[in-house]
């Protein structure tokens, strides 16, 4: 077994869970084992966008001891579109 952390947050609630997982576990398996879905039922383990220490990773990535799996929320706005809107607004000034 190895120790890892799984973290997810909303503006009003954040949860960080430390847990042991079998060596060779994937990110997706670790998310399921963590029980974080009990705190945030909207998380779909097989579809989640994830990373380890702010580095994007795939769900089938094998975790290592000490890893912190971060589950990312969907974007509420497309960053490229927002930049275009800001640029257009500045051009009008």
| 73 pLDDT more than 90 | no
16's CB contacts (< 8 A; 6+ apart) are 5, 6, 7, 68
Query: Residue 79: is its pLDDT beyond 80?
Result: no
Range of the domain at 8: 2-92
The pTM of this model reads 0.78
Total domain count for the chain?
A: 1
Give the CATH number, domain containing residue 86: 3.10.20.280
Give the helix/strand (H/E) hosting 87: helix 79-92
What pLDDT does 75 receive? 66
């Amino acid at each position: 077994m190895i120790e890892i952390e799984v973290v997810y947050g909303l503006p009003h609630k954040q949860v960080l869970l430390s847990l042991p997982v079998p060596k060779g576990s994937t990110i997706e398996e670790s998310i399921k084992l963590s029980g974080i879905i009990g705190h945030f039922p909207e998380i779909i383990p097989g579809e989640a966008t994830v990373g380890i220490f702010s580095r994007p990773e795939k769900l089938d990535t094998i975790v290592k001891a000490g890893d912190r799996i971060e589950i990312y929320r969907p974007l509420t706005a497309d960053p490229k579109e927002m930049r275009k809107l800001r640029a257009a607004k500045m051009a009008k000034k």
